Amino acid sequence: MTDTITIDRPADRVALITLTRPKALNALNLQVMREITAATAELDRDPDIGAIVITGSERAFAAGADIKEMAPQTFSDVYAADWFAGWDALSRVRTPLIAAVAGYALGGGCELAMMCDLLIAADTAKFGQPEITLGVIPGMGGSQRLTRAIGKAKAMDLCLTGRTIDAHEAERAGLVSRVVPAAALLEEATGVATKIASMSRPAARMVKEAVNRAFESSLTEGLLFERRLFHSTFATHDQKEGMAAFTEKRPPTFRHA
């Protein structure tokens, strides 16, 4: 039972999580965090799911952490509860995550999108880290993931001035992988998710693990990690099937194992 999100299966092997707090522009309160992390953890255990799309509404992916919930908190409150640490659970999801962003993705909304592996933006999307305008700073990874995604110059610009960028600037900066007309956003995201979910499940998970390792390791360590994962794909049925299918000039039938 969820109040702040809905969970659907729009296509074979694909799950869609939609934020449903439109009146608050999908502001991320603690309940949203609990529901998204619980839903993604459960979907991650489902062998019939190969990709998860997270989306909001036409007007807002999410306009940030819930300012009304945060406003009365003291340092002792947020420190004791380790406010926002619960979102780390999303980083432990091994299934590829796709953010389909229309409208505002501000503060925690931009940070939630960046916790996903791939960002697809509608031409209406607006990204920003406006926390500084509230007298705080990003608290769900903005200063770290945005810097890794778009570099120091633009990350400083966004985090220090609080300005927002549109979908095209976000694409040029490397934050999003594709921009599509708003009306086509879900179709595009579901199509990408279906494509990913049709690949060998262990291979897709290893790609995710290897690319993410690039942010955590030296080049030598990362290359070694990638090579060892590559070697281990030869233990899967899907490697045998994928290469046999190529040789026999037919599409592969992956067992996802």
83 is a contact residue toward ligand CO8 (CB under 6 A):
yes
**Nearest partner of 29 among 96, 86, 75, 105, judged by Cα:** 86
Smallest gap from Cβ 4 to ligand CO8, in A, equals 13
For residues 61 and 102, is the Cβ–Cβ distance under 8 A? yes
67 is a contact residue toward ligand CO8 (CB under 6 A):
yes
Of 63, 64, 102, 111, the catalytic one is 111
Count of positions (residues) in the chain: 257
List the interface residues with ligand CO8, window 4-33 (CB under 6 A).
24-25, 27
65: annotated active-site residue: yes
Smallest gap from Cβ 249 to ligand CO8, in A, equals 51
Smallest gap from Cβ 172 to ligand CO8, in A, equals 22
64 is a contact residue toward ligand CO8 (CB under 6 A):
yes
Determine the Cα–Cα distance for residues 112 and 63; give it in Å rounded to an integer: 11
Smallest gap from Cβ 171 to ligand CO8, in A, equals 21
**Nearest partner of 121 among 59, 66, 56, 179, judged by Cα:** 179
131 is a contact residue toward ligand CO8 (CB under 6 A):
yes
63 is a contact residue toward ligand CO8 (CB under 6 A):
yes
Q: Tell me which of 50, 56, 130, 141 binds ligand CO8, using CB under 6 A.
A: 130
131: annotated active-site residue: yes
86: annotated active-site residue: no
- Would strands 126-128 and 178-180 be described as parallel, antiparallel, or unpaired? unpaired
Query: Long-range contact list for 40-47, CB < 8 A, 24+ apart?
Result: 40/89, 40/90, 40/93, 40/95, 40/97, 41/89, 41/92, 41/93, 43/7, 43/15, 43/93, 43/95, 44/93, 44/94, 44/95, 46/15, 47/201, 47/256
Determine the Cα–Cα distance for residues 172 and 79; give it in Å rounded to an integer: 37
For residues 99 and 54, is the Cβ–Cβ distance under 8 A? yes
Of 35, 131, 171, 188, the catalytic one is 131
For residues 13 and 67, is the Cβ–Cβ distance under 8 A? no
Nearer to ligand CO8, 24 or 101 (CB): 24
Of 108, 139, 141, 142, the catalytic one is 108
Size of the site for ligand CO8 (CB under 6 A): 21
Determine the Cα–Cα distance for residues 117 and 204; give it in Å rounded to an integer: 11
122: annotated active-site residue: no
112 is a contact residue toward ligand CO8 (CB under 6 A):
no
Smallest gap from Cβ 42 to ligand CO8, in A, equals 25
Known catalytic residues are: 65, 108, 111, 131
Residues that bind ligand CO8 (CB under 6 A): 24-25, 27, 63-68, 78, 83, 104, 106-108, 130-131, 134, 136, 138-139
